[in-house]
Amino acid sequence: MQKRFFITLLFYFFICTSFHLYAQNDPVLFTVGNEEITKSEFLKIFNKNNIKGEPLTKMAIEEYLELYINFKLKVKEAEALGLDTLKSFKDELAGYRAQLAQPYFVDKKTDSLLIREAYDRMLWDLRASHIFVKLDPDALPEDTLEKYNHIMSLRKRIMKGESFEKVAIQASEDPTARDQEATDNHPFFKGNAGDLGYFTVFDLVYPFETAAYNLKIGEVSMPVRTEIGYHLIKLYDRKKALGKVQVAHILISIPQGKSKSDSIKYKIKADSIYHAILNGADFAEMAKKFSDDKGSSSNGGVLPWFGCFRMIPEFIIAVSDLKNKGDMPKPVLTDYGWHIITLVDKKEIGSFEEELPDIKNRIQRDSRSEKSRQVVINRIKKEYGFYENKDALKDFYKIVNDSVFKGKWDINLAAGLNKIMFSIDDKSYNQQDFAKHLNIMQKSARQQNIISFINNTYKNWVDEKCIEYEDQNLENKYPDFKDLMKEYRDGILLFNITDQKVWTKAVKDTTGLKSFYEMNKYKYMWQNRVDASIYTCANEKVAKTVKKLVKKGISNDSIMKKINVDTPVLIEIKSGKFQKGDNPVIDNIEWKKGITPFKNIDGKVVFVNIKNVLPAQPKELKEIKGLITAEYQKKLDEEWIKELRGKYKYTVNYEVLNSIFNN
Among residues 474, 490, 508, the one where a domain terminates is 474
Cβ neighbours around 8 below 10 Å, total: 14
Least confident of 59-63, 84-88, 293-297, 462-466: 59-63
Task: Say if 139 falls within a structural domain.
Answer: yes
Please report, as a single letter, which amino acid is at residue 652. Answer: V
Whether the Cβ atoms of residue 229 and residue 134 lie closer than 8 Å to each other: yes
Is the model's pTM score more than 0.85?
no
Q: Quick check: helix, strand or coil at residue 257? A: coil
- CA–CA distance, 360 with 375 (Å, rounded to integer): 18
- pLDDT tens digits, residue range 126-164? 999 999 999 998 888 899 999 999 999 999 999 999 999
Question: Higher confidence at residue 264 or residue 420?
Answer: 420
Q: Is residue 336 part of a domain?
A: yes
Same domain, 250 and 312: yes
**Average pLDDT of the chain to the nearest whole number:** 91
User: Is 360 part of any domain?
Assistant: no
Confidence of residue 11 (pLDDT cuts 50, 70, 90): very low
Long-range contacts of 376-385 (CB under 8 A, 24+ apart): 376/105, 376/106, 376/107, 376/467, 376/470, 377/463, 377/466, 377/467, 379/107, 380/424, 380/466, 380/467, 380/469, 380/470, 381/424, 381/466, 384/424, 384/425, 384/469, 385/424, 385/425
Q: What is the mean pLDDT of residues 213-229?
A: 97
Whether residue 628 sits in one domain with residue 603: no
In a shared domain, residues 143 and 217: yes
- Provide the domain count of the chain: 5
Q: For 302-326, b where at least 16 C-beta lie within 10 A, e where not — what string?
A: bbeebbbbbbbbebbbbbbebeeee
CATH of the domain at 227: 3.10.50.40
Contacts of residue 66, defined as CB under 8 A and 6 or more positions apart, other chains included, come to none
- Residues 275 and 268 sit within 8 Å (Cβ to Cβ): no
Same domain, 320 and 214: no
Report the C-alpha dihedral over residues 377, 382, 387, 389, rounded to 10 degrees.
60
Tell me: do 248 and 236 sit in the same domain: no
Average pLDDT of the segment spanning 112-121: 97
Q: What digits encode the pLDDT tens for the residues 516-534?
A: 999 999 999 999 999 999 9
The sign of the torsion formed by the CA atoms of 293, 297, 300, 303 equals negative
Mean pLDDT in residue range 319-335: 94
* Average pLDDT score over residue span 91-117: 95
Q: Answer yes or no: is 86 within a domain.
A: no
Whichever domain contains 557, its CATH number is 3.10.50
Which residues constitute the domain of residue 294? 244-347
Sign of torsion over alpha carbons 97, 100, 106, 107 = negative
Mean pLDDT of 240-248: 97
Same domain, 519 and 420: no
411, 433: one domain: yes
Residues 391 and 460 in one domain: yes
Q: Which residue has the higher pLDDT, 8 or 153?
A: 153
Would you say residue 163 lies in a domain?
yes
3-state SS class at 351: coil
**205 and 255 co-located in one domain:** no
Q: How far apart are CA 622 and CA 63, in angstroms?
A: 35
pLDDT band (50, 70, 90) for residue 659: confident
Task: Flag whether pLDDT at 537 surpasses 50.
Answer: yes
Query: Are residues 99 and 165 in contact, defined by beta-carbon separation less than 8 angstroms?
Result: no
The answer to the question of residue 356 being in a domain is: no
Q: Considering the domain boundaries, does residue 517 fall inside one? A: yes
Residue 103 lies in a domain: no
Kindly write down the DSSP assignment for every residue of 427-490, as one continuous string.
EEEEHHHHHHHHHHHTTSPPS--HHHHHHHHHHHHHHHHHHHHHHHTHHHH-HHHHHHHHHHHH
**pLDDT over 70 at 16, yes or no:** no
In this predicted structure, the answer to whether residue 9 has a pLDDT above a threshold of 60 is no
Q: Give yes or no: residues 631 and 606 share one domain.
A: no
Q: How confident is the model at residue 261 (pLDDT cuts 50, 70, 90)?
A: low
Mean pLDDT of 498-525: 94
Burial of 249 (C-beta count, 10 Å sphere; 0-12/13-18/19+): buried
Per-residue confidence (pLDDT) for residue 257, from 0 to 100? 67
Question: Cβ(605)–Cβ(539) under 8 Å?
Answer: yes
Residues 499 and 631 in one domain: yes
Looking at the structure, tell me whether residues 323 and 413 fall in a common domain.
no
